[in-house]
Amino acid sequence: MAIKDAEKAPPPQPPRIHRFRERIRRNRLLNTAWRLGVLLVGSTVLLAGLIMMVTPGPGILGIILGLAILATEFTWAQRALHRARAAADRAKDKALDPRKRRRNLILGTLATALGIAAAVAYLVIYGFVVPWQIDDLTFWT
């Protein structure tokens, strides 16, 4: 009896986004426009990520997000995204290696101590002067 019920059940519907994308793929002009839009948006996000690598901002996140957008339509972007993920996994494993982690912790501590020593030396040599302190108030009168 359970077999007959399973045979009568309708096949599950694909998600709404898949049906939408299939409709677009059937129309050549819409498909080209869609792919062009994905290329434009993905390239913009990817370029922003590359710019953020040298300016303040989450550059790596922008690059990965741009590649993920492009990978929805382009095979070359899927391959690049898989390579980027593999490189990120290798970097994570390398960073979490206990020997490297201990070395990085020691180097970070030494760099911090050196920075503090330089700041203290600067203050001892030149003194602590607040730049916004006003000694002469004659211009107020």
Task: For 77-101, give the secondary structure using H, E and C.
Answer: HHHHHHHHHHHHHHHHHHHCCHHHH
What is the crossing angle of helices 59-71 and 75-95, to 10°?
150
pLDDT score recorded for residue 133:
64
pLDDT score recorded for residue 59:
85
pLDDT score recorded for residue 7:
64
The pTM score is 0.55
Contact 82, 65 (CB under 8 A): no
Contact 44, 63 (CB under 8 A): no
pLDDT score recorded for residue 107:
93
Residue ranges in the chain modelled with pLDDT below 70: 1-11, 14, 130-141
